[in-house]
C-alpha cells in the first residue's frame, strides 16, 4: 500500500480515544484507499453507540406531487405542470394513503414533494390535520427545509410561524432532504435556484429551537469534491453542537429543544437526470462515504443506510461500516426508482429483519425519533 492510500495512525488513535476528527483528518480518510481500516474505525464508533443493534421502522413514504418550480440538474423526479407524468395528489388521497399505512401497522409517514407553484398553504395544513385526526399515534415526518422555505413564501409567514402552524396541524418532525452539498459552486452547477445552505440551516435551527427533531442528508457522488463532502459534514456537526448545547441548557419542559436524529447520506442516482452522463458513486465510494460520515459526525446518534439509495445488498454491508439504521418498509418511492421496480419499492418487516440478522446484528424496530418498539406476541420470523 502506498503512502497516499494508507491511513495515518493518529486517526485510529483519535477515534479509539473518542476524540473529534478535524477537517484534515477527514481529508486523510477520503484520500486513503484502505477501505477496511476506515470501516473498522467506523464500526468501532457505531458499536460504541449502539452495540449490535440495527434499527428499522414501519413507514410509508408519500410523494404528494412531482410538480416543481425548480429544475435541479441532479433531479429526475420533477415535472412541469401539464408535462406527461406530472401529478398532484388531492388532500383526500394523501390522507387515504396514510390511513391505509396506519391500518397496516406503519408508525410513520414520510411526506415530501416538489415545490408546487399553485398549491396553497391550506393544502399542507389539511393534509396534516386530516392524517393526525384520523390516524392517532401515526408520526408525520414531512416537508424538507426547501419546502418549508417555499411555504413561508406562499403563506407570507416567517419560517418559525410556518413550523408552529404545521406542528399545530400535526407535524411531528422534519426529514433531512434538500441539503445536497453545502457549497455555492456545487449549488450553482447542480441545483441553482434552490435555497442555499443559510436557509436550510435556518429551517433546522428554528425547528430545533421549537423542540422539533429533524434529520440531515448529504447527496454525494455528483459534481462535488471530497473536500466539499467533509465541509458539509462539519457544518452539520456545528449546528448539532449548538442544538445539543441548547437541549442541555434548557431544563424547562415549557421550552423543549431538539436536534438531529440521524444523517442520511444519499448516493447520487444519475439515471434520468440532466447529470445523467456522470458515472455516480461505486459500491466502494458508498461504503467509504457512509463510514466517513460516521467518523466525522461524532455528535449525531444515527447514520442511515437508506436501502433505496445504497441498494439492499450494500445497505446490509454498510451496517458493519458505521451505519446502524436501514430506514423502513417505504412501500412507494418516486424520487429515485430502482431499475425494474418503478415506484413500488417495498420491503417487508420479515425481509428487513432477515437482512439485519444475516449481517450479524439484532434487528430493533424504532419509531421516528428512535425510541425502541417492542411488540408483544410477535411471531419471530426468519
Ligand atoms: O433532497 C433527489 C435526493 C432527497 C436524487 O430524513 C436524489 O429520514 C439521489 O431526503 N439521486 C429526498 N438522491 C430524500 C430524502 C430522504 C430519504 C430517506 C430518508 C430521509 C430521512 C430523507 O433525495 C432530496 C435529494 O437530495 N435526490 N434526486 C438522485 N437523482
Give CA–CA dist 144/166, Å, rounded.
13
Q: How many angstroms separate the alpha carbon of residue 219 from the centre of ligand 1?
A: 7
The answer, yes or no, to whether any atom of ligand 1 lies below 6 A from the CB of 200, is: no
Q: Is 328 in the pocket of ligand 1 (CB under 6 A)?
A: no
- pLDDT value at residue 377: 66
User: pTM to 2 decimals?
Assistant: 0.96
Burial class (CB in 10 A: 0-12, 13-18, 19+), 156: exposed
Pocket lining: 218 vs ligand 1, CB cutoff 6 Å: no
Which amino acid residue places its CA nearest to atom 12 of ligand 1?
Answer: 177
CA of 177 to the centre of ligand 1 (A): 5
Alpha carbon of 359 to ligand 1 centroid (Å): 25
264 lines ligand 1 (CB under 6 A): yes
Atom of ligand 1 nearest to the CA of 217: 10
Predicted local distance difference test score (pLDDT) of residue 111: 98
- 263 alpha carbon – ligand 1 mean position (Å): 11
Domain annotation for the chain: domains and CATH numbers: 54-369 (3.20.20.70)
Return the pLDDT at 273. 92
* Ligand 1 pocket test target in 177, 190, 229, 273 with most atoms within 8 Å of CB: 177
CA-CA-CA-CA dihedral for 119, 125, 129, 131, to nearest 10: 50
In the reported structure, the alpha carbon of residue 267 is separated from the centroid of ligand 1 by a whole-number distance in angstroms of 9
Crossing angle (nearest 10°) for helices 9-17 and 23-31: 120
Give the distance (Å) from ligand 1 centre to CA of residue 217.
7
Q: Using an 8 Å Cβ cutoff, are 236 and 300 in contact?
A: yes
Atom of ligand 1 nearest to the CA of 176: 6
Contact 332, 62 (CB under 8 A): yes
- Ligand 1 pocket test, candidate residues 176, 181, 191, 276, most atoms within 8 A of CB: 176
Mean pLDDT in each 10-residue stretch from start to end of the chain (382 residues)? 72 97 97 96 98 98 96 93 94 98 97 96 98 98 98 98 98 98 95 94 98 98 97 98 95 88 97 93 97 98 95 96 96 78 87 97 98 79 40
Q: Which pLDDT belongs to residue 305?
A: 97
Dist. CA 349–CA 58, nearest whole Å: 7
Pocket probe for ligand 1: among 181, 221, 266, the residue whose CB has the most ligand atoms within 8 Å is 266
Amino acid at each position: 500500500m502506498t503512502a497516499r492510500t494508507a491511513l495515518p495512525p493518529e486517526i485510529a488513535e483519535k477515534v479509539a480515544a473518542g476524540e473529534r476528527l478535524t477537517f484534515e483528518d477527514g481529508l486523510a480518510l477520503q484520500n486513503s484507499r484502505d477501505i477496511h481500516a476506515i470501516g473498522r474505525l467506523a464500526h468501532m464508533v457505531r458499536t460504541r453507540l449502539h452495540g449490535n443493534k440495527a434499527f428499522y421502522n414501519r413507514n410509508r413514504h408519500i410523494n404528494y406531487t412531482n410538480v416543481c418550480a425548480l429544475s435541479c440538474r441532479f433531479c429526475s423526479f420533477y415535472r412541469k405542470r401539464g408535462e406527461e407524468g406530472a401529478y398532484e395528489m388531492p388532500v383526500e388521497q394523501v390522507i387515504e394513503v396514510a390511513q391505509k399505512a396506519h391500518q397496516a401497522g406503519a408508525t410513520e409517514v414520510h411526506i415530501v414533494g416538489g415545490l408546487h407553484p399553485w398549491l396553497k398553504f391550506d393544502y399542507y395544513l389539511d393534509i396534516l390535520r386530516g392524517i393526525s385526526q384520523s390516524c392517532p399515534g401515526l408520526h408525520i415526518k414531512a416537508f424538507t427545509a426547501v419546502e418549508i422555505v417555499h411555504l413561508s413564501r406562499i403563506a407570507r409567514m416567517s419560517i418559525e410561524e410556518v413550523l408552529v402552524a404545521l406542528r399545530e396541524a400535526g407535524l411531528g418532525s422534519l426529514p433531512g432532504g434538500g441539503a445536497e452539498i453545502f457549497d455555492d459552486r456545487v449549488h450553482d452547477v447542480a441545483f441553482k435556484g434552490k435555497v442555499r445552505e443559510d436557509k436550510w440551516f435556518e429551517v433546522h435551527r428554528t425547528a430545533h429551537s421549537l423542540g422539533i427533531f429533524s434529520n440531515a442528508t448529504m447527496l454525494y457522488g455528483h459534481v462535488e469534491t471530497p473536500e466539499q463532502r467533509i465541509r458539509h459534514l462539519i457544518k452539520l456537526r456545528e449546528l448539532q453542537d449548538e442544538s445539543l448545547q441548547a437541549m442541555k441548557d434548557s431544563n424547562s419542559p415549557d421550552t423543549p429543544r431538539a436536534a438531529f436524529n440521524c444523517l442520511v447520506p444519499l448516493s447520487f442516482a444519475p439515471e434520468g437526470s440532466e447529470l445523467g452522463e456522470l458515472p455516480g458513486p461505486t459500491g466502494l465510494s458508498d461504503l467509504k462515504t457512509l463510514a466517513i460520515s460516521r467518523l466525522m459526525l461524532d455528535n449525531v446518534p444515527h447514520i442511515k443506510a437508506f436501502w433505496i439509495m445504497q441498494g439492499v445488498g450494500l445497505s446490509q454491508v454498510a451496517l458493519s461500516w458505521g451505519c446502524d439504521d436501514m430506514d423502513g418498509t417505504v412501500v412507494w418511492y418516486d424520487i429515485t426508482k430502482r431499475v425494474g421496480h418503478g415506484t413500488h419499492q417495498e420491503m417487508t418487516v420479515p425481509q428487513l429483519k432477515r437482512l439485519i440478522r444475516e449481517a450479524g446484528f439484532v434487528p430493533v424496530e424504532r419509531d421516528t425519533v428512535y425510541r425502541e418498539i417492542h411488540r408483544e406476541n410477535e411471531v419471530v420470523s426468519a
